[in-house]
Structure 1
Amino acid sequence: MRRSQRTTIVRRLTTLATAAVCITALAACAEDAKGKTSSLTQADYEDGEGISATVLPQLAAPGDDVQASTDADFVVDATVQGAEAGRTVELQVAEGDEWRVKDSAETDADGRVSLTTGAAEEFRVIALGDKPVGINLSTAEAPAEIFVDEFDAQDPAAWATRDQGYAGVRMCSKASDDAAQWVDGVVRLSVLDDPDKGDCTYKKDKFAYRLNGHIGSTFNFTYGHAAARIKFQELRGQHGAFWLQGLGTVPVGDPMDTGAEIDVIEYFGDDHPDGGLTSFIYWHPTAKGKMAGGWLKKPEQYGDDWSKKFHVFSVEWTPEEYVFRIDGQVTNTITEGISGRPEFLVLSLLSSDYEIQHLQGDENLPQHMDVDWVKVWAPTEA
């Protein structure tokens, strides 16, 4: 065998081995592609052929420290027609005459993938394969911002402590101004011992009465994207939440008329047996009420360190559905209980009676939930 033939065979075997590794570890191969220059030219694919994509707002910003909402990444929701799970899709940003891979991921069983990019105006999304398909996009296509609070300073006209206390499922706690503080670029919501009261009895056990951070916005909107960058409390015994409630009181009926409670995210602590994260919708077609949603399965696929890192939790609310995301990744879609009323924003860290026993001692108070920013964008254009 000639040396040239042996070299060719070795190269082919190496290529096959590399391909085999990528088949068994697609995510790792996609991660390795980031930062590389793409050799594809416009002639290698038809713009918009076999692929669709929508530029969403800046919904992704995991990290340890506070940061401006304008530094978050834009999210691109793409679907490759007829693609099976595992097809590699790249988001490539224009740099002069070159295209550089900014993000890469694999399609799910529906051919869908979420990608992120920074403030670069022009980019393209390419589904790789024997016949690449792609689409050219711009961050200028993202929805317009209609509300933002960076929590650099308290604005009494924007947020107020809610009038809730010693009632319903929170007989042992009440909302208090003392449990909501603007500090170091965040609004810090806390669960504190109530110094003006003694012990509360719940199911024959005694617990200290508590003060809860629980604030609602004066801003309201109908349809669009709402997001909050949050670092949650560590322990069980209370739950942090970002949610929406309908403006005004229409107690029973169609949610298009009555509104709904939209629980974008709730967190029940690091050691919760079900993973700790939930998204729910509550509405009242009758006095009994209905609900949809539930615990997020395998939350580690969307991130980690919920009490140590900030993550962006968002909902896309349309007349047809609610789409929930964590740092741009879709976690759940609910098509029931769609509100048609204006809704306002709520941030809270609540110690409900049914969970208060899980704190394992009042010496573990206070607990804190930090919110870096809250933002709302207009609906995505069809």
Structure 2
Amino acid sequence: MGATGGGDGDALTIGVVVARTGRLAKLGDPLAFVMSRLEPELRRIRNGGRHHAVRMASRDSRSSADGAREAVRRLVRDEGARIVLTLAGTEVLPAVADTCEEEGVPCVSSTFPWQVYYYGRGATARRPFRWTYHFCWGLDDIAETFADLWEAAGGPARTVGCLWNDGPQGNWSRHAEQGFAPVARARGHRLVDPVGYREPAVGFDEHLAAFRAEGVDVVTSAATGKDLALFRERADELGVRPKMITCSRWLAYPPSTTGSGRRPAQANVATLIYWTPNHPYRSSLDGTSAAELAEAYEQGTGRQWLQPLGLAHALFEVAAHALTTADDPTQAASVAEALGRARLETIAGPLDWTAGPVPNVATVRLSGGQWQPGRAHDWELRAVTNRRVEGLPLDGDLVPLG
């Protein structure tokens, strides 16, 4: 994908690594939309008493780590990117960030639990990253949000079956110090965690047998849509019917039919909510509300709004903030320092890198939601818990899994 915007050789270039092909292409849609929408608005910035031209350039990650590394190198070496932005997946996002560290260019990313981003890439509280910055929720935030949902559906001290794989999602969920599991247990819940499964799954009989034996009535997962559908189908066949499933992966997208086609995998599954049109946030660039951005996306693409849309927009807000507040926006070190001290209100909510929880990371607030049959769309994400997001209205009640 070629460069966009003006060709001013002295312009400050914002580089964007965006999936346009491969399995993460759907995640790339909101980022590509926001880039196109904001390009005219970000043609120039003012830093102190000086004005600087700005251009945008993007490269396709091809939904792979190798493609992501190549994309960063081309943006830095061919396009002169001063800062790199991305929304990506489990393998792609670390590849983008690590390559930015190698190239010595500031990077801002999102949609990846911060513990996996930070500790999974080798940083410590005393040895943070030099160039790469991130905003997202944590595994601890997911656990707290899911515990809220479990308790709302049936009270404290639930017995929860863990549908976790043997890859990064499952292993980090299990992590004794930084994971999901210790937070859920601290809330009084008992976790039943059979051996992790290999993706793509071929069956879940071992899990279902353990869940039946232990009296599990709530299942928590980080499964793909296909694996979640397979689990639900096999559970039906074996007569295992949990009252609730919470899932943190791929639930940002409207349900689609998978597996046998009998129902969408996400139907009535509860999940985390990090952005909706109802969130009380506005863009720091032009005051656009969350509702206005979602409407623009639906009108411009003909597709249902997606949660990553808000985070994609916030990436550009953070980039603009860093370039306008850096002591010298033409110097990479100065832009990185501006990111490290950034505090701003965005369309994805307040972001504050000075507050931690660790260097290089700002957090995003979560609430609990559930995919339910909708009015404007076949399936809509309803906010059913909101105690951590001030001003977010509830627009649904928890319903049985069915």
TM-score by length of 2: 0.31
Structure that is richer in helix per residue: 2
TM-score by length of 1: 0.32
Highest Rg: 1 or 2?
Answer: 1
Higher relative contact order (CA 8 A, sep 6+): 1
